[in-house]
Structure 1
Amino acid sequence: MKSLSSKNPFLKAGGGTPDIDFIHLLLLGSSGVGKSTAVFAIINYLYNQNPASKFIISEMKQSDYLFAEHLPNVYLGDRAILAIDVAFNEIELRKKNRGREKTPYYLVVEELTSLFELAGKSKKEYQEKIRVILYTGRAFNIKLLAVSQDLLASALGEGSARNQFSLVIALGSLRSSVTKGLFELEEGQELQKNLPKRFGYLQRFDDGSNVIKIKVKQVPDINLLKGRVLDILGKSANVVEAVDPDSL
């Protein structure tokens, strides 16, 4: 019988595993490089590190998380923007009630840049909410896992919000302009541009670590992994209490 690993889903090139504990994580990569599988594996890993963790999913394209669309903490399509409200409102609740349990909350957002466009006239409002999560999430144990094909600095509004990501991972082929904007490279350092599927680079920004080359571990049974993620998200379903306006 196949078993599902609860260990770190990444390997360092040359051996060992990278530290993927994070305050906020930015995961970039073009279509088909293994982002979705990596995120599923990260969710499984984080939950096994702390089973009290809660997850809120935002996916505008209605593809990867259709298997969990019946859950109240999974926001798909036109509702995807509401997941930001859940995390933001939970911060407000924790601000107002110091005794409120500060279990880890992870807001997982697919294609953040495109999601802001979905907000229409409310775009600036939701950009500001994401900025609040980025800047104050550490204090309230609320963390953002942003997944995108690209994330322009302008997508997060003015200022240094993009710099609040403590961990950045880029998978697959990388343009020089992207890597220079993402990573802090040593003088003269060049990253391989045409990486195969499941390979990429990782850098921590909270401890001054250098860029390292990584590989996403092979998942022997994606359906088994999805089943595990479905179970984890089901246990997080009570996060919707945070959007009740009467509780604010």
Structure 2
Amino acid sequence: MIYGYATGADGKPSAPIKLNIQDYCHILLTGSTGSGKSYALLYLIGCLLKDSPETEVFICDFKNSEDFRFLNDYPLYYAGQHCYEGVMEFFRRFNDARENGKSFKRRVLIFDEYPSYIFYQSMMDKDNKTKLVSDVTNAIATTLMLGRGISHAAWLVTQRAESSLFANGSRDNFQIIIGLGRLSKEQKGMIFTGEEIPNEPMKRGEGHLLSDGHKLRKVKFPLISDINDWKWHIYDILMRNLEHNRDSSQSTPLA
């Protein structure tokens, strides 16, 4: 799968950063407002479905943004407060795969604006005397720690990737970390511990990528010439794949 493009000395995209999706399944995408996170996420989803079109994708969009409204009719798209349902349904299928050994090629949970949801749900839990936020953080932590072996992945999108968002130190289980824009010194220390990152201006969609076993690389997400067409192809693949999985689950073997 392509995770963006490495940039040359002139700042222009050079070679694609290609890594095996099975080994590099968990992604942490972080950056401030306006750094290009949503655009980069759409690019990565398109690359995922091109490389692995049979993937079942759960998308949790807490801010219910215009960027993902094209998925309103997709049954595994969860917006606003429904993000809890999305995580729990993904985790139910995750546990089913672990316990019963059911064959499934790939399943990915994508959570945009993850910290905002955690902050909101923490307040709601306090008012309602519930523990929904613990359900979510524990489900994601378990996925990050155990998901790679059964082809289940978590992609989280944040403005700040504070360790408090990740139960049981699970932040260390991301194989891909992408920091877009000009990160603060504190942010650099959070996600790129021990790496020397020069303090230089970054355009939208530019940043750094750290992957297991590789040196830190500058990364750029190329311009999508027709974003509406890109979205349509994502929607089309997701819906066709959902229908295929439904038909497969209902079929019975011949005697």
| Alpha-carbon distance in 2 for matches of 1:240, 1:58 | 20
C-alpha contact 1:174 1:194 (8 A) present in aligned 2: no
2:104 to 86, 99, 102: 102
Name the residue aligned to 2:158: 148
TM-score scaled by length of structure 1 = 0.85
Amino acid in the other structure paired with 1:182: I
| Alpha-carbon distance in 2 for matches of 1:201, 1:11 | 10
Secondary structure of the corresponding residue to residue 81 of structure 1: helix
Amino acid in the other structure paired with 2:96: L
How far the C-alpha of 1:145 sits from its partner, in A, is 0.8
Amino acid in the other structure paired with 2:209: L
| Alpha-carbon distance in 1 for matches of 2:143, 2:239 | 23
How far the C-alpha of 1:61 sits from its partner, in A, is 0.6
C-alpha contact 1:56 1:239 (8 A) present in aligned 2: no
Indicate yes or no: 2:179 matched with 1:175.
no
1:10 to 4, 10, 21: 4
Secondary structure of the corresponding residue to residue 16 of structure 2: coil
Secondary structure of the corresponding residue to residue 18 of structure 1: strand
| Alpha-carbon distance in 2 for matches of 1:90, 1:196 | 39
Secondary structure of the corresponding residue to residue 118 of structure 2: helix
Deviations 1:15-64 (A, max 9, x none): 21223532200001122222112111111111111221111100011112
Amino acid in the other structure paired with 2:68: Y
Amino acid in the other structure paired with 2:77: V
| Alpha-carbon distance in 2 for matches of 1:95, 1:11 | 34
Q: Please show how residues 123-202 of structure 1 align to structure 2 within 5 Å.
A: 123-157=133-167, 159-186=168-195, 189-202=196-209
| Alpha-carbon distance in 1 for matches of 2:61, 2:174 | 20
Percentage of pairs with the same residue: 23
Name the residue aligned to 1:116: 118
1:228 to 233, 244, 253: 233
Amino acid in the other structure paired with 2:163: A
How far the C-alpha of 1:131 sits from its partner, in A, is 0.8
Name the residue aligned to 2:219: 214
Name the residue aligned to 1:55: 57
C-alpha contact 2:161 2:187 (8 A) present in aligned 1: no
| Alpha-carbon distance in 1 for matches of 2:185, 2:36 | 20
| Alpha-carbon distance in 1 for matches of 2:3, 2:224 | 9
| Alpha-carbon distance in 2 for matches of 1:74, 1:185 | 37
| Alpha-carbon distance in 2 for matches of 1:139, 1:9 | 21
| Alpha-carbon distance in 1 for matches of 2:117, 2:15 | 35
RMSD: 2.0
Amino acid in the other structure paired with 1:70: D
How far the C-alpha of 1:101 sits from its partner, in A, is 1.4
Name the residue aligned to 1:77: 80
Moved over 4 A (4+): 238-241
Secondary structure of the corresponding residue to residue 87 of structure 1: helix
Secondary structure of the corresponding residue to residue 16 of structure 1: strand
- Where in structure 1 are there 5+ consecutive unaligned residues? 1-6, 242-248
Give the total of aligned pairs.
229
Secondary structure of the corresponding residue to residue 103 of structure 1: coil
| Alpha-carbon distance in 2 for matches of 1:145, 1:179 | 19
TM-score scaled by length of structure 2 = 0.83
How far the C-alpha of 1:78 sits from its partner, in A, is 1.3
